Amino acid sequence: MEALLLICSLQEEVSSIKESFATLEVASKELRNSRLFLKLLEAVLKTGNSMNDGAQAFKLDTFGTLRCERN
């Protein structure tokens, strides 16, 4: 009996995970096709480059450390 309950529970979890991945895939496609998001990334890159003496790249994990700066 416990095995049947476990199977049902796992099927529900798998279904939920599949839905989440489908949502993530749609969001990913939207971002890849978004001109506005591309412009945002370009602005972040330019800002980072000017703050880092002309560096030519940035790591994506730096998004979490960005904050507003005032002169």
- Whether 8 shows a pLDDT value over 60: the answer reads yes
- Whether 13 shows a pLDDT value over 70: the answer reads yes
Residue 49 vs residue 12, higher pLDDT: 12
Percent of the chain with pLDDT over 90: 39
Does the model's pTM come out above 0.85?
no
Local confidence band at 54 (pLDDT 50, 70, 90 cut-offs) = low
Structure-token pair, residue 22: 């489908």
Percentages helix, strand, coil for the chain, rounded to the nearest 5?
75, 0, 25
Local confidence band at 33 (pLDDT 50, 70, 90 cut-offs) = very high
What is the residue extent of each domain of the chain? Answer: 1-33, 34-71
